[in-house]
Amino acid sequence: CIVGGGPGGLQLGQFLLSAGRDYMIFERGTGPGSFFERFPIHRQLISLNKRHTGRDNPEFNMRHDWNSLLGNEACPPVTNRTTARFPRAEVLVEYLREFAQPQEAAGRIEYGAEVQRIKRWAKDEEGFLLKVRGAEGERTVGCRVLVMAHGLWTVNRPDIDGGEYLTGYEELPPSGESMEGQSVAIFGLGNSAFEVANAAADYANYVHVWPTRDKSWG
């Protein structure tokens, strides 16, 4: 059982499909890579799409394509789909949908399937039992091996006074236009923080980025 139909789940699934193994991917979204239908908010990926490396070695060149997966040669890589060094998220979504087609045709991916509970099988037996809610209601699925490939997405708000007044990354519009003429404070020093700062730079009066782990600024 593979929980999650994003890049990780699809890649493992493709290897298992090629090896003729018995498996199923459970994805609660309506299609593969549904995370990238919404994120990143400002729609530009930070994963490299370097089309020209100056080398003829396919393996070396693949190391500079951070978006394409392996094992489905019929699916053109992302480097054939856009010239952008850092592609739009929509390009990746389209690619993942095409990459998933052989597994869909084999009946190995179930969409709209939310895994609600996981527990070990009987004490003396290896394996897991999954409670899955899908289009036909709830059912229990058993598998010997379980792979969690659903990512680690969860809202992370700093524990500070007045934190309830902050605008979360997940609440932002896909453009920095709403920050027109404003002074913008961004809490965090991760990818999302710099993504927002970059989007705000075209519109804001002032952009300041603060770390959240160091409380000395308070």
Cis status of the peptide bond prior to 87, with omega within 30 of 0? no
Q: What is the pLDDT of residues 81-107, one digit of tens each?
A: 999 999 999 999 999 999 999 999 999
**C-beta contacts of 90-98 below 8 A and 24+ residues apart:** 90/43, 91/67, 92/33, 92/36, 92/45, 92/47, 92/67, 93/33, 93/36, 93/37, 95/67, 95/68, 96/6, 96/7, 96/10, 96/32, 96/33, 96/36, 97/31, 97/32, 97/33
pLDDT at 57 over 80: yes
Q: Hey, what amino acid is at 198?
A: N
Averaged over 77-81, what is the pLDDT?
97
Band the pLDDT of 215: cuts 50, 70, 90. low
Q: What is the pLDDT of residues 16-30, one digit of tens each?
A: 999 999 999 999 999
pTM: predicted TM-score of the whole model, two decimal places: 0.90
Strands 128-134 and 114-120: antiparallel
* pLDDT at site 156: 79
The Cα–Cα gap between 175 and 41 comes to 8
* DSSP state for residue 66 in the 8-state scheme: S
pLDDT at 143 over 80: yes
Structure tokens at 155: 């809202």
User: Contact, 191 vs 214, CB < 8 A?
Assistant: no
The Cα–Cα gap between 145 and 27 comes to 17
